[in-house]
Structure 1
C-alpha cells in the first residue's frame, strides 16, 4: 500500500520535475552524506504501458528475498559483504514487463572503446558471466533522461550504491523505476536487513502532480521505517522542490558532477585504502600548526584521483611503467609522500621547507628552490607537472609542461587568481572571478596545445575544480606551439603592464614591479613570492597604534546611549552603558586616515583587528558593538580567569559592571599567572 508523506505546491512543468529527479538520482551524495557514489549495473527502457503497482510489488518482493539460490550463484551479482541480491531475477522481472536492455553497443562510439570495455569486463569476475548485466562504470554510461520527454516511455535502473565509510557500511542494491507516463520516480532497496544501511529503510516515490510534487512510501505491517520517512520529508523533498525551481522549463541540467573523468567505484576503494594506510599515522605525527584533518585527507583524496587518472592513461596508451611527476609549490609535501609511497617517482619543490619534511622517509624527494618561469625550470624527464593550489605558478604550469617536451602533461587545481605577471583581472563582468579564471586557465592550456578537461574533486575546499591537460592536440607542431605560447604571454603581460602604467599616471603612489634581469625568463615582470611571508593579521601593529584604534572605536560606539542589564550573580542585575552599534563601513569612515593606513599595511581592513579583540567588540551582520562583560562563573573553564587585564575596568566611562566576579583582572594586583607560565 502506497501512503503519501507530504505534498508541496510548486509552479513547474514536467521537464523541471524530471530535471530535479535527475539531480537527485545522479547525485544522491549531495543529500545523503553516507554515500560516495553509484554504479549502474543495468538499464532498461519500456515504450508500453504496464501495471505499476503490480510491478513494484514484485520488485520489492525480489529485492527483499533473504536467501539466494546458491546453486545458481553464477547469476548473482554480489552487492554487499553479507548478502547477494538476485539481480538476474530482477532484470528478468523487468523484462517480463516489456523493459528492454539499453544495448551496450548504443553507448560505444568507437572500436577502441569496445576493446577497452571488453578488457575491463574480463577482469570483473562473476559480474561478466551474465550477458546482459554489465558494470556500467564508464562516464558514457548514463540514464537516457531524454526518453522521459515522451510520455509513453519509462526507464528502469538497477544500480549499486557505494558507501563512503566501507568499514561501517556495505554497498546497497537499488532499483529505480522512472515512469514517464505517470511522471513518478520510485526508489526500491533492501529495507528488512538488520545491518546499518546507507539508503533509507523504506521504499518511496516522488511524483509530479497537478499542483506540485508529492512524496509517498510503500508501507508494510512489518516495516519499521518511520525514521527514514522523517528523513525523506525533512531532507529529500525540500531539495527536490528547490531544484525544480532552479531548473529551466526545458529541463536542462548542467552536468557539473564530481569525479567525471574517473570511475567512482574504483575511487572509493582507492581512497578508503589510502585513508587507512596514511590518514591516522599522518594526523598523529603532524608537527605543523595547521589543521591536519583538512590537509591530510584533502591530499589523500587528490592522490586517489591522480592514481586512477594515471591508471586510465596507462590502459589507454598501453604504458607499462608508472608515471613520474613534479609537484610545483608542494607545500607540506603530503601529496609527494603519498604518490611516492604508491610507486610513482616524483619531486616536490617549494620556496620553504616544512617541519614535516624531516619525518618523511628518504625516498620522498623534496627540495627548497624558487620556481620561476624560465628555460632553467623545464622538466623533460618527468611525465606530469602538478599544481595543487599553486597560486602565482598556476598559469605557468601548462606553459612549463608544453615547453618541457611533447610527453609532459599537467594537472592544476586553481585557487587564488593570478595572471602571468600580476593578479588576474576578471574579463567578464557577468560571472564570478573564480569561474572566469577557470576558463582563462583552460584557454592557456589550449594555447599550449593541450586537449583540456575539467573535473570536480571531492575535497574539503571551496576551490575544488581541477584542470587536466593529458593529451596534445598536435604533437608534431611543437615549434609553432612554442612560438604561439610566447606571443600569448607577451600579449597578456604587455596589457597588464599598460594597465599598471595607467594607474601609476593616475595615482603616483602605485609602485611598479621590479624587472628581472635574467634573459632566460619568459617574462620580465614575473615576481615570485618571498620564502618568508610577513604576518598580516594586525598582531604586528605597534601597541600604541592598536590602543589608539580601540579607543577611537569605543568612543564612536559610546556616543549613543544604550543601557543593558548585566547579571552579576546571586540573582542581582545592574544597568550598564553598552553604547550603540555602527556598521563597519561607517565606522571606518569615522576613524583617522593615518590609523586606517597603518591597519591596511598589516591586514587590509578593520574587521581583522576587531576579531583579535573579541572580548571587547562584537561583530554581527556587519555591525560593531561592545561586548557585554560576562562573570567568570559562566565560563566552562576557569584556567584563564584573571590572566588578562580587564579593558572595561581601565577604559570604559562607567568601568566594568562585574567586580569582583569579572573574568579579567581589575588591576595588576588581581592578575594571576597562566597555567603554562
Structure 2
C-alpha cells in the first residue's frame, strides 16, 4: 500500500517535473551525502500501459530477497558484487511487463557514449533478450529522459548500483527505478530490511506530479521500521524536487553540471577510499602547518584520485605502458606531489617557498624552491603533464608552457583567482560571473595552444573546483607554427590590457620576443610573480582600536531589534536573553562608517572575513548576520579548557552574558581568565 507523506502546491508542467526528477536521480549525492555516485546496470523502455501496483509489489519482493550480495569481506565496492542472476530475474520481470532493453531499440545511442549496444531485435536469439550484465557495465548506460517527453504513455525502468562514499561504513545498494510517464510518477525501490547500515532510505518511495502539486509517498509494508526515513524524505527530498521543478525551463532541459564526468565514478570511489586510508590519517596526524589539515589533506587526495584515473584512461586509450610523469607548478605544501609520487608517478613540485611539511616527506618526493616565470627556461619537455592547482597568476601560462614544451606535454589546471598574462583578469562579458567568464577564457587559451580542451567538476571542499584538461592535441595543419600563434595571442591580450585612454600602448615596447630566439627570454615583459612572503590579509593585522570599533558598531545595529531567546545555563534552568535581530551582509555594510569599511578592505577585502574571525560573537547563515547565543562549556567536546579570552558579551552586551562564569567558555573578568574552567 502506498501512503502519502506530504504534497506541495507548485506550478510546473510535466517536462519541468521530469527535469527535477532527472537532477535527483542522476545526482543523489547532492541531497544524500552518504552517496558517492551511481552506475546504471540495465535500462528498459516501454510504450504500453501496465499494472503499476502489481509490478512495484513484485519488484519490491524480488529486491528484498537479497538481490545484492554486499557481504564481501574486504568491503570493496565493485559492480560485480551484484548478483547477475538476481538482476537478470528483475530484468526478466520488467520485460514481462513490456519493458524492452535499451540496447535492443534504435535511436537510443548516447550522444556522449558511442559504445552503447544497438542490437536489432531481428538479429538476436531468444537468450540474447537478456543482455549480459558484464557487457552492460562496460557501456555507460544513460537514462533517455527525452523519451518520457515524446509521449505521455512512455515509461523507463532502470536497474542501478548506488555507491557509498564511505565503503568501510556502508554497503553498496541495488536500486530499481520506475519512471512512469503516463502517471507522472517516479518510484525508487531498494533493499530496506537489511541489518547493515544503509546509504538509502529504509522505505521504498515515489515522487509524483498532479495538476497542481508534487507529492512524495512511500510503500508501507507490515512490520516496517522507516519513520526516520519518511521524515528525511519529507524534509530533504521533497523541498529540493519542488525547488528544481520551478527552476527547470518548460522544455525540461537541464544543463549538465555534474561532477566527475571524464572518469568512472565507481573507480574514483575505490581509488579515493584507498588513498584516504593510506595517506589521510597519517598526514593529518603529522601536519605541521597552521592551515586546516582536514581540508588540505583530503582535497589533495581527491585531486590525486582524479588524476590517477584520468591518466589510467589515457594509458589504456593510447596503449602506453609506463606511468605518466608530471610537474606541479606552484605546488604549495607538496601534498599532491607526495601522493602521486607514492602511487608510482615520477614528478617534480616547484614553489616560491619551502613549507614545513616538506622535511617530513620521503627522499623520493622531488620538491624544488624556485620562481616560475613564463620564459624559455621554464619548459618541461621531459615530463608528460603540467599541473596547476589553484596556481593563480600561473594559470593562463600553464597551457602555454605545455604547448611550448613539446608535442607530448599535456596540462591540468584548477583555476582559482582570475589572472591574465600580465595582471588580474578583467571580465569580458558583463552578464556572467567573474569565475565563469574566466573559466571560458582559460579554455580559449588552451584552444589557442592547440589543445582539445575539456572541463569537469571535482569533488573537493572548495568553491573553485572546476578543472580544465588539455589532454589531446588538435590536428590543425598549422600546428608547426603553434608557437607563433601563441605569441601573437599573448601580445594581443597584453596590449589590450595595457591600452591607455588615447589608444596607445603605455610602454610602446614588445611584450613577446617577436621571433627572437634568445635563450631564457621572457614571453612577456610585464609578468610579475608573487612575492615569496605574502602579506597577511585576513583582518588580523587591523589595529585593535579599529577592530573594536567595527565589532561595537555591528553589535549596535543588531541590538536595535529585540529578539528574546531561552538560554540553557545548566541544572534544567533557562534564562531569557536578548539576542538582537539579524541583517543581510549587504545592508550591514551600508550601515557602517565608510572609513571603517575602507580599513577592512585594505586588509582583507571585506566585512565577511572579519566576521568569520569573530565566530564566538557573530553568526553568519544564508547571508544574514546575527549575534551568537553563548553555549555553556559542557556542550563542547573538550574535557578541560583554559580561559584565554575575555567574554565579549559579559563586557559589552547590555544584558551581559547569560551564562554564569563557571560554565562560560570565556573569562568573566581578568581574574577568571587565570582560572581553569570545568567541563
TM-score, normalised to structure 2's length?
0.81
Cα distance, 1:546 vs. partner?
4.0
Structure 1 match to 2:246: 245
Indicate whether 1:547 and 2:545 are aligned: yes
Structure 2 match to 1:426: 427
C-alpha distance 391-54 of structure 1, shift in aligned 2 (>3 A): same
CA distance in 2, matches of 1:630, 1:466: 41
Q: Which runs of 5+ in 2 are unaligned?
A: 70-76, 119-127
Moved more, 191-200 or 303-312: 191-200
CA contact (8 A) 2:325 2:347 kept: yes
Structure 1 match to 2:406: 405
Cα distance, 1:373 vs. partner?
0.5
Instruction: Name the SS of the counterpart of 2:593 in structure 1.
Output: helix
CA contact (8 A) 1:41 1:133 kept: yes
Cα distance, 1:600 vs. partner?
4.8
Structure 2 match to 1:93: 93
Q: Could you list the per-position Cα deviations for residues 301-323 of structure 1 after superposition, in whole angstroms to 9, with x for gaps in the alignment? A: 11111111111111111111111
Correspondences of 1:308-327 after superposition (within 5 Å): 308-327=309-328
CA distance in 1, matches of 2:675, 2:538: 26
Cα distance, 1:378 vs. partner?
0.4
CA distance in 1, matches of 2:78, 2:659: 68
Q: Could you list the per-position Cα deviations for residues 278-331 of structure 1 after superposition, in whole angstroms to 9, with x for gaps in the alignment? A: 111111111111111111111111111111111111111111111110000111
Structure 2 match to 1:378: 379
Cα distance, 1:131 vs. partner?
4.0
Indicate whether 1:446 and 2:447 are aligned: yes
CA distance in 2, matches of 1:243, 1:96: 34
C-alpha distance 133-503 of structure 1, shift in aligned 2 (>3 A): same
Correspondences of 1:448-527 after superposition (within 5 Å): 448-474=449-475, 477-498=478-499, 520-527=521-528
Cα distance, 1:554 vs. partner?
5.7
C-alpha distance 367-47 of structure 1, shift in aligned 2 (>3 A): same
Instruction: Name the SS of the counterpart of 1:214 in structure 2.
Output: strand
Q: Could you list the per-position Cα deviations for residues 608-656 of structure 1 after superposition, in whole angstroms to 9, with x for gaps in the alignment? A: 567667889999999999999999999999955587699998x999999
Q: Could you list the per-position Cα deviations for residues 159-182 of structure 1 after superposition, in whole angstroms to 9, with x for gaps in the alignment? A: 111111111111111111111122
Correspondences of 1:135-150 after superposition (within 5 Å): 136=136, 141-149=141-149, 150=151
CA distance in 1, matches of 2:658, 2:98: 80
Correspondences of 1:14-413 after superposition (within 5 Å): 14-66=14-66, 86-103=86-103, 131-134=131-134, 136=136, 141-149=141-149, 150-413=151-414
CA contact (8 A) 1:80 1:170 kept: no
**Aligned length, in residue pairs:** 638
CA contact (8 A) 1:42 1:134 kept: no
Cα distance, 1:480 vs. partner?
2.0
Indicate whether 1:585 and 2:586 are aligned: no
CA contact (8 A) 2:159 2:174 kept: yes
CA distance in 2, matches of 1:202, 1:31: 16
Q: Which runs of 5+ in 1 are unaligned?
A: 70-76, 119-127, 506-510
CA distance in 2, matches of 1:133, 1:629: 57
CA distance in 1, matches of 2:461, 2:130: 39
Structure 2 match to 1:121: none
C-alpha distance 129-469 of structure 1, shift in aligned 2 (>3 A): farther
Moved more, 180-189 or 388-397: 180-189
Instruction: Name the SS of the counterpart of 2:499 in structure 1.
Output: helix
Cα distance, 1:664 vs. partner?
5.5
CA contact (8 A) 1:643 1:672 kept: no
CA distance in 1, matches of 2:39, 2:257: 18
CA distance in 1, matches of 2:165, 2:433: 31
Q: Could you list the per-position Cα deviations for residues 523-542 of structure 1 after superposition, in whole angstroms to 9, with x for gaps in the alignment? A: 1110000001112234445x
Correspondences of 1:611-622 after superposition (within 5 Å): none
CA distance in 1, matches of 2:622, 2:668: 31
C-alpha distance 500-486 of structure 1, shift in aligned 2 (>3 A): farther
Instruction: Name the SS of the counterpart of 1:160 in structure 2.
Output: strand
C-alpha distance 324-557 of structure 1, shift in aligned 2 (>3 A): closer
C-alpha distance 138-467 of structure 1, shift in aligned 2 (>3 A): farther
Structure 2 match to 1:123: none
CA distance in 1, matches of 2:92, 2:659: 78
Structure 1 match to 2:72: none
Moved more, 199-208 or 629-638: 629-638
C-alpha distance 229-556 of structure 1, shift in aligned 2 (>3 A): closer
C-alpha distance 101-562 of structure 1, shift in aligned 2 (>3 A): closer
CA contact (8 A) 1:326 1:348 kept: yes
Instruction: Name the SS of the counterpart of 2:348 in structure 1.
Output: strand
C-alpha distance 41-657 of structure 1, shift in aligned 2 (>3 A): closer
CA distance in 2, matches of 1:294, 1:198: 24
TM-score, normalised to structure 1's length?
0.81
CA distance in 1, matches of 2:252, 2:469: 29
CA distance in 1, matches of 2:60, 2:576: 67
C-alpha distance 129-526 of structure 1, shift in aligned 2 (>3 A): farther
CA contact (8 A) 1:328 1:350 kept: yes
Q: Could you list the per-position Cα deviations for residues 79-136 of structure 1 after superposition, in whole angstroms to 9, with x for gaps in the alignment? A: 69698871111111111122111118966689x965x999xxxxxxxxx997433454
CA distance in 2, matches of 1:422, 1:377: 19
Instruction: Name the SS of the counterpart of 1:86 in structure 2.
Output: helix
Q: Could you list the per-position Cα deviations for residues 127-146 of structure 1 after superposition, in whole angstroms to 9, with x for gaps in the alignment? A: x9974334545785301111
CA contact (8 A) 2:646 2:667 kept: yes
